[in-house]
Structure 1
C-alpha cells in the first residue's frame, strides 16, 4: 500500500465566464504531492503548475501563493496535468490524503467539467480526509487549520505556506506521526490535557494556540 498526500492551489474563474461559473467556481493552478511507501517514508514528489482556462491569475492569489500569470502561461491545462498526476500515482494500491475535503471537491468538479469521461470513483475510492481523522483522534468538534495542527505537534513548517508541494510535505508529517499511536499521544499530550474539562483554561489554551482556545469555548 502506497500513500499519497496532495495539495492544490486554485484561482477563481473570471466573472465574464458566467456559464462556466455555474458549474465551476475555481480552477486548479498548482498540484503538489508526495508519495510515501508502506512504512510511511517519503519516496517521491510531484509538482506542476496548471494554466487556467477561464481568466488570468488574480492579484490576491499571487499574493497568497506566489504564482503569477507568467509562471503558468506556457504550462499544460488541467486535463493534461491531472492525467500526469494520475499516471504518477500509478496502478499500485494507494490511499490519497488531503487536509480537509476541499481539494477532492475541486478535483471532482473540474474533472466533471473538463474531463467528463474520467471515472470520479478513481478519486472517491482512494481519498482520505486527514484533517477529519486528526480531529477525531483528538476528539475535536471543530477542525484545526494545517498550520495550527503542525503547531500543536511542535512541527516547524518546512518551506513556504500556500505552495502546494510544501503544504503536501508538511501534511505528510502529520500522517506519519499518526501511524505511531504512542508517539502521537505523547506528542499531542499538551493539547489533550488542555482539552480536558477544567475550571479555568483560557490562559493556558491561549498561550498554546489561539485556534485551540476557540475550540475549547465551543466544546
Structure 2
C-alpha cells in the first residue's frame, strides 16, 4: 500500500537545498490493438507519482514529499505500470490532479538556492514536458541540477556510455534494501543514500534548458514506445 504523505522536519534550512526527486509514469494502453500502447506525442509519459526528499548542504533531511497524481491523459493504468509499481486506478482515482500536485511541488522546492538531483535525465525531461502539456508556469522550478546516475557511473568506473542502474548501485554500496523499487518516493530515498555515499567536492550542478529538451523529445516521441525504467 502506497503511503501518500507530506512531512516537514523542524530543521534549519541552510544556504543550499538539494532536492532529490523521482517520478513514476503511466502510458496509454489499448488492448484492441494487439496490446500496443497508444502514445500522445505531446506527453507520452504522464506523471502518476512524485517522490522527493529535500536535503540541506550537509545532506541532512529537511522535508519530504510523496504524492500520487490522478491521471488526466491516460485514464487507464497500463498493465506493465501496475505490475512494476503496484499503483492501481483505485489509488489514482482518489489522488489530486497534476495542477494541484505541481503547486505543492513548487512550494516544496522553495529555498535559498535549490538544486534538483535526479537519477538519469528522464525524470527532468518528463517533469518539464508534463508541466508544459498542462499549460503551467515552469519558471518557479530550479534549473540547476545534478545527474547522480552520471556521477555514480563514474564512481564505479563504468565503461563510456554505460550508466549504472539504481538497484545495482544500492547493492554495490551495501545499502540496505528495505522497500520496493519503482516507487517514486522509495527510489528518491535510495538515491539520497547513494548521494551520501559518493558525495565529493567535484560533484557540480549543470543548468537545464527545458525548452531545448521538450522540443527534441516531442519530435522523437513516436519512436519512444516504452515506459522509462530506472
TM-score, with structure 2 as normaliser: 0.71
Unpaired runs of 5+ residues, structure 2, are 1-15, 202-230
Higher relative contact order, chain-length normalized (CA < 8 Å, sep 6+): 2
How far apart, CA to CA, are the structure 2 residues paired with 1:50 and 1:107?
13
Give the alignment's Cα RMSD to 1 decimal.
Answer: 2.2
Q: 1:12 aligns with which of 5, 27, 47?
A: 27
Preserved contact between residue 79 and residue 115 of structure 1 (Cα < 8 Å): no
Q: 2:85 aligns with which of 55, 65, 71?
A: 65
How far apart, CA to CA, are the structure 1 residues paired with 2:38 and 2:156?
43
Unpaired runs of 5+ residues, structure 1, are 182-219
TM-score, with structure 1 as normaliser: 0.74
What SS class does the counterpart of residue 20 from structure 2 fall into?
Answer: strand
Runs of 4+ in 1 over 4 A off after TM superposition: none
Query: 2:134: which partner in 1?
Result: 114
Task: Say how many residue pairs are matched.
Answer: 178
Q: 2:55 aligns with which of 32, 36, 45?
A: 36
Shift of 1:99: 0.6
What SS class does the counterpart of residue 122 from structure 1 fall into?
Answer: coil
How far apart, CA to CA, are the structure 2 residues paired with 1:19 and 1:71?
23
Query: 2:119: which partner in 1?
Result: 99
Query: 1:170: which partner in 2?
Result: 190
How far apart, CA to CA, are the structure 2 residues paired with 1:104 and 1:33?
13
Query: 1:214: which partner in 2?
Result: none
Shift of 1:174: 0.8
Preserved contact between residue 2 and residue 35 of structure 1 (Cα < 8 Å): yes
Q: 1:51 aligns with which of 55, 70, 73?
A: 70
Query: 2:11: which partner in 1?
Result: none
Shift of 1:179: 2.4
Query: 1:134: which partner in 2?
Result: 152
Shift of 1:156: 2.1
